[in-house]
Amino acid sequence: MWFLYALLGAVGKSYTGFFRKRMAATVSASMYMWVTYFLLLVVLSPLMVSHLAQLGKMFTGAFWVVFGAAFSLMIATQLNLEALKREELSYTAPLNSFVSIFTLLIAMLFLHENPPRLGIVGILAIFIGAYIINLKPQRLHWYDPLVRLVTSPGAQLSLGVAFGYAVNTVFMKALSNQGYDDLTILYAIILIGWVLLAFVPIRKPRELVATFRSNKAALVGATVSSFAGNFFHILAIAGTYASYAVSVRRFDSLIAVLLGWRYLKETNIRNKLIGSLVMVAGAIVMALS
């Protein structure tokens, strides 16, 4: 079942990126997070009545692990919104495949998960895919895509996003290993993030009103897809190694490229699609070899 959960998480994550891209130019990252967290809390709070005992146990016995999961998710979301302001969705989403590399390294250190035998092949494939994505017709030298990957603000921010998501995954896996319920983990992470951002509507009341007036559909879409993506991701990592679930979840990049092509009219889709396929293959080889 973990494989199905990971695929469903990939679908949710790809649509989250799509809705974020539509709002990136008009809504600040902090406002986006506060509003989506608030909407999720409104929906999930009634469901937590039967989970109050476990929620209290989590906050007393594993508070800093939950805080680490919440804070790393906030940082990754912040960087993702900033990256989407600068680059197309079909460019930033495939670079999330670097999550597999970061998750593997962190899981080795803190979760004692053994690395795959063909891990080096998977890592090489991810870098080759990133090179293909950065190919453009006007590039004159073979090293131009590598230069863009290192110097482009969108690429730099996307690599930061990948590292943040990897850290978040390891924290959530640690909570799952301690026996906490999936829904309780997600609720606690959202609650902490919302509390940390409590100053946002106070400091930006006009932006809050404008956000609800002009981005209703995108906000609802982002909230629903974000919940689905994170909830199924937790279910997936609870049922297998963190590196396995993260690798399968990389199918989100393929869906995001197609969404960018179909609905956002983004460019250079062929290279991005080929590069994404290579990166997804590399991520799967890393985990399942």
pLDDT for residue 218: 87
pLDDT for residue 49: 87
Q: If we measure between CA atoms, which residue out of 251, 240, 238 comes closest to residue 283?
A: 251
- The C-alpha atoms of residue 115 and residue 244 are separated, in whole angstroms, by 11
Q: For 25-49, how does the pLDDT look when each residue is reduced to its tens digit (9 = 90+)?
A: 888 999 999 999 999 999 889 988 8
3-class secondary structure, 196: helix
SS3 per-residue string spanning 54-123: HHHHHHHHCHHHHHHHHHHHHHHHHHHHHHHHHCCHHHHCHHHHHHHHHHHHHHHHHCCCCCCCCHHHHH
pLDDT for residue 254: 87
Q: Do residues 274 and 30 touch, judged by C-beta distance below 8 A?
A: no
Q: Do residues 211 and 108 touch, judged by C-beta distance below 8 A?
A: no
Whole-number Cα distances in Å, 206 to 27, 194, 203: 11, 19, 9
Could you tell me how many helices (H) and strands (E) the chain has, helices first? 16, 0
- The C-alpha atoms of residue 101 and residue 167 are separated, in whole angstroms, by 11
pLDDT for residue 181: 87
Q: If we measure between CA atoms, which residue out of 44, 242, 233, 73 comes closest to residue 161?
A: 73
- Write down the pTM of the prediction: 0.85
* DSSP codes joined into one string, 209-239: HHHHHH-HHHHHHHHHHHHHHHHHHHHHHHH
DSSP state of 152: -
Tokens coding 173: 């896996």
- Provide CB contacts within 8 A for 278, sequence distance 6+: 125, 126, 128, 129, 132
The secondary element (H helix, E strand) that includes residue 8 is helix 2-23
Count of Cβ atoms closer than 10 Å to residue 22 Cβ = 19
DSSP state of 232: H
- The C-alpha atoms of residue 46 and residue 26 are separated, in whole angstroms, by 32
Nearest-5° Cα angle at 122, 227 to 68? 40
| Per-residue pLDDT in tens (0 to 9) along the chain, 289 residues | 778 888 888 899 899 999 999 888 888 999 999 999 999 999 889 988 888 899 999 999 999 999 999 999 999 999 999 999 999 999 888 888 787 778 777 767 766 666 556 666 777 888 888 888 888 766 667 778 888 888 888 889 999 999 998 899 889 888 988 989 888 999 999 999 999 999 999 998 888 888 888 778 888 898 899 888 888 888 888 887 776 777 778 888 889 999 999 998 988 888 899 988 998 888 777 766 5
pLDDT for residue 33: 93
Q: Do residues 250 and 282 touch, judged by C-beta distance below 8 A?
A: no
pLDDT for residue 280: 83
